[in-house]
Structure 1
Amino acid sequence: MVTRQVPKPSELLELMKFKKPELDGRKRRLDAALTIDDLRTIAKRRTPTAAFDYTDGAAEGELSLTRARQAFRDVEFHPGILKPAPDVDTSVDILGGPSALPFGIAPTGFTRLMQTEGEEAGAGAAAAAGIPFTLSTLGTTSIEGVKAANPNGRNWFQLYVMRDREISYELTRRAAAAGFDTLQFTVDTPVAGARLRDKRNGFSIPPQLTLGTIINAIPRPWWWWDFLTTPKLEFASLSTTGGTVGELLDAAMDPTISYDDLAVIRDLWPGKIVIKGVQNVEDSVRLRDAGVDGIVLSNHGGRQLDRAPIPFHLLPKVRKEVGDDFTVMVDTGIMNGADIVAAVALGADFTLIGRAYLYGLMAGGRQGVDRTITILRTEIERTMRLLGVASLAELEPGHVTQLTRLVPVGTTATAVSAR
C-alpha cells in the first residue's frame, strides 16, 4: 500500500519555480527560436509576403532548393564511441585568414528589404562571431558602409560582371581599397532565373504600394514603419531601378561572360579570388588549373537554373578530383549546424549561409542574426561531440553517408550502394 499524506507548503514551494517574465518582445521571441526553421516561422509572420517570398523563394518549381535541403536531411552520421570530446574547436583557416566557425555569411541582394538594418546587421554579427561577411554587388549597403560596420573583421565581396564592364571594374577597385580580402566572382547568372513568387506577388524594386500590399501590411505595421522612416531602399552599388529583380538582372548582367573576364578581374584584384556558382567536376578542375584560389559549389540557392545539380552531392566527387590542397566551399540548402558538419566531413573547407542568415534578420534585426549564428554554433558543437571529434580536422568521409533518393536512370544497385 502507498502511504499518502497531505503535502507540506514548504515542499510545494520547492516544486513551484516561476520563470521571470521577459518584457523585451524581440528577445522573448528570439530566445524561443531553437532552430533556423523556428526563425523562418517568425520571419514569415513579421514580414510582408512579397518581401518574405523574395527571400524564401527560388526559381520555377523550386526543385533545386527542395532537393538541396533534402540532401542534407538524407545524411546518416557514424559516431565513434569512447572518444571524449568535452571541448571542441570549431575554428578554421580559410583563404589566408581565420574564422571562428566553419561558415560565413553569403552574399544576398537587396538585404534591407528584409529588415531595415540589412547588411550592417549581418556584418556586425559576423564581426562579433569572428566569421567572414560577404557583400553582394546587389547589396543595399555600400562597400564603405560594410567596412564601417565590420572594421576589423573579414569582409568579402561578391562580384557580378555587368554589361558595362567599367561598373564591375570600379566595384573591384573600391572593395580592394576598403580592405576586403576575398572576391567571389559569380558565374551562374548569365541571365536571371524565373523567380515565379516575385511575379505572382507583383514584386518590384523599389517596392510599389498596391491594394494587396496595403492589406498585407495591416498586421505588420512595424515593417512598414521601418520601411517608410529609414533611408530610401535602393541598390548601394547600382543606379538601375524599376522592375522585378529578374528584369534588373537581365538588363545589367552579360551572358557573354567568359574566362577572359576572369583574367581581367584577376589582374585588378590583389587578394584571394574564388569562383562562385560551380556546378560540375570538370569546371572545378579547370578552375583549379587556371590558378584561382578556390571555388564555391553552388546553384545560387536554387534561384537560377531549376533542377540544377545539388552542391552537397557534388562535393565528394569534386574533392576527389581537385585534391586536398585546393579550397572548396559549398552553399545552398544549409539549415542546421549538422549540415555544415556533414559538408566538412565530406571535403568542404568552408560553407556559406544565405537564407538562414536572412531568416534571423527578418525575425529580429541584428539580434536575429546573432541568434542564427548561435543556433548554428550550438548545433555544430553538439554534433561534433556526439560524433566523438574534438576538431574539424578530425572529421572525415567515414563519419557521413549520403543516402540516395535521386538515382540516375540506368544506375545499378551496386553503383548506388557504392555511393
Structure 2
Amino acid sequence: MVKRQLPNPADLLELMRFKKPEWNGTKRRLDAALTIGDLRAIAKRRTPRAPFDYTDGAAEGELSLTRARQAFEDIEFHPGILRPAEDVDMSTTILAGRSALPFGIAPTGFARLMHTEGEVAGASAAGAAGIPFTLSTLGTTSIEDVRAANPEGRNWFQLYVMRDREVSYALARRAAAAGFDTLLFTVDAPVAGARLRDKRNGFSIPPQLTLGTVLNAIPRPWWWYDFLTTPALEFASLSSTGGTVAELLNAAMDPTISYDDLAVIRDLWPGKIVVKGVQTVEDSIRLIDAGVDGIVLSNHGGRQLDRAPIPFHLLPAVVREVGQDATVMIDTGIMNGADIVASIALGAKFTLVGRAYLYGLMAGGRPGVDRAIAILRDEIDRTMKLLGVAALDELEPAHVTQLTRLVPVAPSPRAVVSGS
C-alpha cells in the first residue's frame, strides 16, 4: 500500500513555478518555433497569400520540389556507437574561405516582398552566424547595401545572363568592386518555369491591389503597413516592372545562353566562379573541364522544369566523377539540418538553403532569419553527435543509405550517365 499524506506547501511551490512571460510578440512566436516547418506555419499566417505562395510554390504540379524533399526523408542513418562527439566542429572551408556552418543562404529573388527587411535581414544574419550570403540578380536590395549590411562577412553574387549582356556584365563588375568573393552563374532559367500559384494569385511586381488581395490583406495589416511605409522596391537588374514574375523573367532572360557566355564571365570575374543549376553528370564533367571552381546541383528549388532530376539522388554519381577536381554543392528541398548532414556525408562540400531562410524572414524579419539558422545549426549538431561524428570531414557515405522509391523502368543512356 502507498502511504498518503497531505501535500507539503513548500513542495507545491516548487512544482508550481510559472514560466516568466515573454512580452515581445515576435520573440514569443519565434521561440515557439522548433523546426523550419514551424517557421513556415508562422510565415503563412503573417504573409499575404501571393508573396507566401511565390516562396512556397514551385513549377506546374510541384513534383520536382515534392520529390526533392521526399528524397531527404527517404534516408537511413547509420550511427557509430562508443565514439565520443561531445564537442562538434561544424565549420568548413568552402571556396578558399571559412564558413562556421556547412550551409549558406541561397539566392532568392524579391525578398523585400516577403518582409520589408528583405536581403538586409538575410545578409546581416548570415554575417552574424559566420556563413555566406548570396544576393540574387533579382534581389530587392542593391549590391552595395548588402555589403553594408554584411561588411565583414562573405557575400556571394548570383548572376543571370540577361538579353542585354552589358547589364549582366555591369552587375558582375559592381559585385566584384564591392568585395563579393564568389559568383554563382545560374544556367537553369533560360525562360521562366510555369509557376501556377503565381498565375492563379495574379502575383505581379509591384503587387497590384485587387479585391482578392485586399480581402486577403485584412487579417495581415502589419505586412501592408510595412510595405507601404518603407522605400519602394528597387531592382538592380530590371529596368522596368509591372507584370507577373514570369513576364518579367522572360523579358529579361535570354534562352540563347551558352558556354560562350560562361567563358566571358569567367574572364570578367576575378574571384571564384560556380555554376548553379547542374542536373547531369555529363554537364558536371564538361563544366569542370571548362575551368569553373565549383558546381551547385540544383533544379532551382523545383521552380523551373517540373519532373527534373533530384539533386540529392544525383549527388553520389557527380562526386565520384568530379569531386576530386572541384567543389560540389547542393540545394533544393533542404528543410532540416539532418538533410545537410546527409548531403555532406555523400560528398557535398557545402549546401545552400533558400525557402528555409525565407520562412524565417516572413515569420519575423531579421530575428526570424536568426531563428532559422539556429534551428538548422542545432539539428546539424544533434545529428552529428548521434552519429558519433565530431567534425564534418568524419562524415562519409557509410553513414547514409538512400532508400529508393523512384526507379527507372528502362533507363535511357542519358539517365545512366546522369545517375538519375
Q: Which residue identity is paired with 2:380?
A: I
Is residue 94 of structure 1 aligned with residue 100 of structure 2?
A: no
Matched, 1:134 2:100: no
1:43 maps to amino acid: A
- The question of 1:196 aligning with 2:218 is answered no
- Which deviates more, 341-350 or 5-14? 5-14
Alignment of 1:55-204 (within 5 A): 55-204=55-204
- Confirm or deny: 8 A CA contact 1:181 1:272 kept in the other structure: yes
Distance 1:291 1:357 in 2: 31
State how 1:324-335 maps to structure 2 within 5 Å: 324-335=324-335
What residue is the counterpart of 1:407 in the other structure?
Answer: 407
Match of 2:265 in 1: 265
Determine the structure 2 residue equivalent to 1:307. Answer: 307
Conserved? CA contact 1:110–1:234, under 8 Å: no
Aligned with 1:120: secondary structure?
helix
Within 5 Å, which residues of 2 pair with 1:221-232?
A: 221-232=221-232
Distance 1:154 1:323 in 2: 23
Aligned equivalents of 2:19, 2:364: Cα separation in 1: 23
- Displacement of 1:2: 1.4
Quote how far apart the aligned CAs of 1:395 are. 0.1
The 8 Å contact of residues 238 and 252 in structure 2, kept in 1 or not, is answered as no
Shift of 1:240: 2.3
Unaligned regions of 5+ residues in structure 1, if any?
none
Unmatched 5+ stretches in structure 2: none
Matches of 2:155 and 2:139 in 1, distance apart? 14
Q: 1:376 Cα shift?
A: 0.2
Structure 2 CA distance for aligned equivalents of residues 188 and 204 of structure 1:
22
User: What is the one-letter code of the residue matched to 1:142?
Assistant: S
User: What SS class does the counterpart of residue 194 from structure 1 fall into?
Assistant: coil
Correspondence for 2:246: 246
What's the % identity of the aligned pairs?
83
- Aligned residue type for 1:129: A
CA contact (8 A) 2:121 2:369 kept: yes
Q: Contact conserved, 2:288 with 2:325, CA < 8 A, in 1?
A: no
Distance 2:3 2:188 in 1: 74
Q: Given that residues 78 and 398 in structure 1 are in contact (C-alpha distance below 8 angstroms), is that contact kept between their aligned partners in structure 2?
A: yes
Give SS of 1:273's match: strand
Asked if structure 1 preserves the Cα contact closer than 8 Å seen for 2:342 and 2:400, the reply is yes
- In the alignment, what sits opposite 2:355? 355
Distance 1:15 1:255 in 2: 67
State the distance in 1 between where 2:102 and 2:325 align: 17
Structure 2 counterpart of 1:283: 283
For residues 166 and 14 of structure 2, what CA distance do their matches in structure 1 show?
71
| TM-score normalised to structure 2 length | 0.97
Maintained 8 Å contact 2:59/2:196: yes
Partner AA of 2:368 in structure 1: G
| C-alpha contact 1:140 1:233 (8 A) present in aligned 2 | yes
CA distance, structure 2, for counterparts of residue 283 and residue 221 of structure 1? 47
Which residue in the other structure is 1:211 paired with? 211
Q: CA deviation at 1:175?
A: 0.4
Instruction: Report deviation, 1:201.
Output: 0.4
Quote the residue 2:323 is aligned against. 323
1:234, distance to aligned residue in structure 2 (A): 3.5
- Residue 390 (1) aligns with residue 390 (2): yes
TM-score computed with the length of structure 1 as normaliser: 0.97
3-state SS, counterpart of residue 185 of structure 2: strand
Report if the CA contact (8 A) 1:206-1:234 is conserved: no
Q: How far apart are the structure 2 equivalents of 1:68 and 1:145?
A: 33
RMSD: 1.2
Report the alpha carbon displacement of residue 236 of structure 1 after superposing the two structures with TM.
Answer: 3.1
Q: How far does the alpha carbon of each residue in 1:185-232 deviate from its partner, in whole angstroms, 9 at most, with x for none?
A: 000011100000000001111100001000000000100000100011
Cα distance in structure 1, aligned partners of 2:234 and 2:290: 36
Cα deviation, residue 400, structure 1: 0.2
2:205 match: secondary structure: coil
Aligned equivalents of 1:2 and 1:110: distance in 2?
A: 66
| One-letter amino acid matched to 1:178 | A
**Structure 1, residues 290-346: CA drift from partner, whole Å, max 9, x if none?**
110000000000000000000000000000011324100000000000000000000
Question: Contact 2:323 / 2:347 at 8 angstroms: preserved in 1?
Answer: no
The one-letter amino acid of 1:366's match is R
Q: Distance in 2 between matches of 1:70 and 1:298?
A: 15
SS in 2 for 1:184: strand
SS of corresponding position for 2:158: strand
Alpha-carbon separation, structure 2, partners of 1:323 and 1:210: 51
Give the conservation status (yes or no) of the 8 Å contact 1:142–1:237: no
Looking at structure 1, the residues matched to 110 and 84 of structure 2 have their Cα atoms a distance apart, in angstroms, of 45
Residues 54-105 of structure 1 show CA distances to partners (whole Å, capped at 9, x for unaligned) of 1000000000000000000001000000001000000000001000000000
